[in-house]
Structure 1
Amino acid sequence: MTYFSDFQISEPVKRAIKEMGFEEPSPIQAKAIPIILEGGDVIGQAQTGTGKTAAFGIPVVDKVTEERYVQALILTPTRELAIQVSGELQKLSTHKRIRTLPIYGGQSIGHQIKALKQGVQVVIGTPGRVLDHIRRKTLQLDRAHTIVLDEADEMLDMGFIEDIQSILREVKGARQTLLFSATMPPAIKKLSHRYMTTPKVVTINKGEVTAPLIDQLYYKVLERSKVDSLCRIIDSEEVDLGILFCRTKKGVAELAEALQARGYLVDGLHGDLTQPQRDSVMKKFRDSSIEFLIATDVAARGIDVDNVTHVINYDIPQDPESYVHRIGRTGRAGRAGLALTLVTPREMKHLRSIEHEIKMSIPSQEVPTIEDVVEKQQNSWRKLISETIDDRGKEFDLFSPLVEEVLQDHSAEDVVAALLKLNFSSDSANEEAGYNFGETGGAKGMVRFFINVGRNVNMTPKILTEEISELVGIPSKAVGRIDIFENFTFVEVPEEVAPFVYEALRYSRINGARVNLEPAKPRPKRERHPTKTSNSS
């Protein structure tokens, strides 16, 4: 087993590491730090949250002297990551007299110029603002001996590749270049070939990336009651700090508004926010003034907060890489984390493709019932009531006349129960089923659906049952009677899964044909026999 004390680094840096509470290096640190200390170029392939900041930060701080000129430049895709890296390096250099400076757009350039003139040893910045300072000649890199490209693939995605090339051309002398990236797309490989000298490659396998401390679950939810399902899930979890991911900016704004209206402490982060607005939201998130940050993938880039206990994919990620990147934002620094994904019936196939790519099956869990939520929250409500009574102020007197009046007509137990029930009124008014299909002519406990295609698209009982089974997650044998005619089909499914079947198959495709599914009308008294009948696959 490797310890930080085993590395060939100076005592001041070792002391800082110990004071930060670190003893054993993470896999990327154990592999990368000794190689970086040798002085050559290094490519590190590692996800966010694996400890890569310290993997390059420790050697950088160890190498930098107290002379007042820029000796190391670290490029990051976002201002949040620049601030985060700067903070980490300040802790590592607490016993060395060196200064680090984050520079980024949105902050006064005059303030940054003043700080640069006073002399700093390490600059951490976004490519655009770094290039701006270079062109103004307020940032001199002629004596820089170390260049770090942090989250290079993110910088590529955000269109910074030309800025990075311009910056690298400004560093004329011999330098050590360190490149860290979660993925290695062709453009990043091309960049490394052009600007790095025989780099050594350090990688950590997937087992080391997706830490076992991250538990993963998915909930099957209906599109029309998705927000209510989310509220049930949140209410049944003990969330310290969480990130909710949406697919679009509009989705972030709508979900933030919906949850705020329900009394949840949330705020949204998306591309339309000004920099001061973004800073304000992030400050609230970092100091836990809000429980949940709601964000798109793009807006969340560079966010690196250690104490995130929950990541919830309100909208399922577009691809497996995004899924891995999202869930990696919890379970940091040895802490336990939980990644939850809400999946609508029409997204089940997409979930299966993600499971196939990440080579693991994500377990499912039922959305908590109102009874589950009440039971889970009893202790917190008991504590909240006691604290409110203990902290009674003048406001208590305002309610005294009403309290006396209500207690004349009702028992104290009924009044307390009624007040608690009011808290859950929005939930109880939106039960999970959300659909009333009425009388459809199905067997007892079954709902019968009409599908507008039949033998004309080569429909068979096996094809239909497998489609329902895959989309809804029920055994094929749970599907009831199937009547296939020339141009239409009837199928019966259990009442409890009927809403999911309805949302999964409505306007979907079977055998390549666009289909529509509707609740069937009650059977006529005499119905001719179908061409083909089956209740099994």
Structure 2
Amino acid sequence: METEVTMNNFETLGLDPLWSDKLKKIGITIPTAIQNIAIPEVLNQRNVIAEAQTGSGKTLAFLLPILQNIDALSSTVQALVLVPTRELAIQITEEAKKITGDLSINVLSIYGGQDLQSQLKKLNHSVHMIIATPGRLIDHLDRKTIDLSKVKTFVLDEADQMLVMGFRNDIDKIVYLGKFKAQVLCFSATIDAKVKKLAYKYMENPLILSAHSDSKPLDVIEQRVIMVSDRWKMEALLKTLDETNPFLGIIFCRTKIRADKLETEMKRLKYTCEKLHSDISQNKRQRIMRQFKDAKFQYLITTDVASRGIDVTGITHIYNYDMPESVEIYVHRIGRTGRMGEDGIAITFVTPRDEEMLKAIEERLKVTISQSFHEHQK
């Protein structure tokens, strides 16, 4: 038994004891499936395309080896992580700072909605790793306020979502303006032909890794469907919220307007909730996320764009008030619960026009989701 425990720690993957000690301090001792297979390859400077679902520990799978390879004595930017949303940029930056702690490795996040001047001031000091959304990074490259020419590792995180959000040309521009020749790591919840095409454009001989741990995030999530008409959908949702009474729940809406309307109605009925979407200022979004993490309110009402990077422990229920537009988005949404092997429940409200998408979800995930009818539908 002892050898098993020894073999299952981070040092056997090639990480210095310094990092495993830091992980121990934040309560992480055993690598997840994606960390087990990705860390040694990233340390060996391989180009990697990795399939890893939300909640599988993928962020540390690239952060740890990158941080180990950084030369803290150099003042150059040595690693660039590109992400689709500001929430994800903030989350990854927080995770990196949690591990680097007192080390002299400087990590900077760059995203829209920040004060450009204060960012530029920060950049006058040495920055070793940048975590950025495409648009704001291009602003800096155009102004020549960032030098990426010494970047050794380039990460495309949530590559499938980058494509959905139309960032292909921005990525091209960043690689062109950045003038770096780097190891490329591409992480994605799904690896389809489009993701491969994107990845192969920037890397040679990539290694394709797929992590399916013993307990896949989706396996620990109980999925349910409630059949309802548009007319009775809000009533069906509120009835379900009362019946399930989660510790923390996320409610997904198709549009900002629908999220606004739902929040107004739920607050009128005295549910503790807040909405999160791209029209809300960055400072307010960060404040809402902090409050949600601290369980100051029970329900977060959000759109898909704003939900990227929500990584909160204790989310017990996901409610798809509106059906997602693709199977990938469905997987991303329900992956917000059932984190790291914990159980979770995902409830989707399906109107007659959503039935085709429901069929596509069941076929792709090879599941039959149990259905019930809202009473007005009987």
TM over 0.5, shorter chain: yes
Partner of 1:201: 208
Q: Which amino acid aligns with 2:169?
A: E
Partner of 1:302: 309
Question: In structure 1, which of residues 57, 65, 89 is the aligned counterpart of residue 63 of structure 2?
Answer: 57
- What is the Cα-based RMSD across aligned positions, in Å? 2.3
Partner of 1:312: 319
Q: Kindly indicate whether the alpha-carbon contact (under 8 Å) linking 1:77 and 1:302 is maintained by their aligned counterparts in 2.
A: no
Q: Which amino acid aligns with 1:195?
A: Y
Q: Distance in 1 between matches of 2:354 and 2:148?
A: 50
Deviations 1:404-453 (A, max 9, x none): xxxxxxxxxxxxxxxxxxxxxxxxxxxx44xxxxxxxxxxxxxxxxxxxx
Partner of 1:32: 38
Shift of the 43–353 alpha-carbon distance from structure 1 to 2, 3 Å rule, reads: closer
Partner of 1:254: 261
- Give aligned pairs, total: 371
The Cα of 1:59 is off from its aligned counterpart by 0.5
Q: Which amino acid aligns with 1:310?
A: H
Shift of the 277–90 alpha-carbon distance from structure 1 to 2, 3 Å rule, reads: closer
Is 2:77 aligned against 1:70?
yes
Q: Distance in 2 between matches of 1:95 and 1:18?
A: 15
Q: Which amino acid aligns with 1:63?
A: N
Question: In structure 2, which of residues 6, 15, 19 is the aligned counterpart of residue 9 of structure 1?
Answer: 15
Shift of the 103–350 alpha-carbon distance from structure 1 to 2, 3 Å rule, reads: closer
Q: Which amino acid aligns with 2:289?
A: M
Deviations 1:142-197 (A, max 9, x none): 22211111112212222222221122224445421111122345453333223212
1:250-399 residue pairs with structure 2 within 5 A? 250-344=257-351, 347-348=354-355, 350-364=357-371
Shift of the 240–229 alpha-carbon distance from structure 1 to 2, 3 Å rule, reads: same
Q: Which amino acid aligns with 2:29?
A: E
1:168-187 residue pairs with structure 2 within 5 A? 168-187=175-194
Shift of the 352–66 alpha-carbon distance from structure 1 to 2, 3 Å rule, reads: same
The Cα of 1:108 is off from its aligned counterpart by 0.3
**Matched residue SS, 1:123:** strand
Q: Distance in 2 between matches of 1:273 and 1:96?
A: 34
**Matched residue SS, 1:44:** strand
Q: Distance in 2 between matches of 1:211 and 1:187?
A: 23
Deviations 1:378-401 (A, max 9, x none): xxxxxxxxxxxxxxxxxxxxxxxx
Q: Distance in 1 between matches of 2:257 and 2:214?
A: 35
**Matched residue SS, 1:70:** coil
**Matched residue SS, 2:27:** coil
Q: Which amino acid aligns with 2:13?
A: F
**Matched residue SS, 2:80:** strand
Q: Which amino acid aligns with 1:254?
A: K
Q: Distance in 2 between matches of 1:220 and 1:187?
A: 33
Is 2:124 aligned against 1:117?
yes
Shift of the 365–190 alpha-carbon distance from structure 1 to 2, 3 Å rule, reads: closer
Q: Kindly indicate whether the alpha-carbon contact (under 8 Å) linking 1:12 and 1:95 is maintained by their aligned counterparts in 2.
A: no
Q: Kindly indicate whether the alpha-carbon contact (under 8 Å) linking 1:46 and 1:209 is maintained by their aligned counterparts in 2.
A: no
The Cα of 1:233 is off from its aligned counterpart by 1.8
**Matched residue SS, 1:212:** helix
Partner of 2:227: 220
The Cα of 1:130 is off from its aligned counterpart by 1.3
Shift of the 135–253 alpha-carbon distance from structure 1 to 2, 3 Å rule, reads: same
Structure possessing the higher radius of gyration over alpha carbons: 1
Task: Give 5+ residue unaligned stretches, structure 1.
Answer: 368-431, 434-498, 501-537
**Matched residue SS, 2:145:** coil
Q: Kindly indicate whether the alpha-carbon contact (under 8 Å) linking 1:27 and 1:208 is maintained by their aligned counterparts in 2.
A: no
**Matched residue SS, 1:298:** helix
Q: Distance in 2 between matches of 1:311 and 1:120?
A: 38
1:402-413 residue pairs with structure 2 within 5 A? none
Deviations 1:187-224 (A, max 9, x none): 53333223212111111349764442222222334543
Q: Kindly indicate whether the alpha-carbon contact (under 8 Å) linking 1:252 and 1:294 is maintained by their aligned counterparts in 2.
A: yes
Task: Give 5+ residue unaligned stretches, structure 2.
Answer: none
Deviations 1:55-95 (A, max 9, x none): 10110111112223211111111111011001111122225
The Cα of 1:349 is off from its aligned counterpart by 5.3
Partner of 1:459: none
Percent identical:
42
Q: Which amino acid aligns with 1:55?
A: A
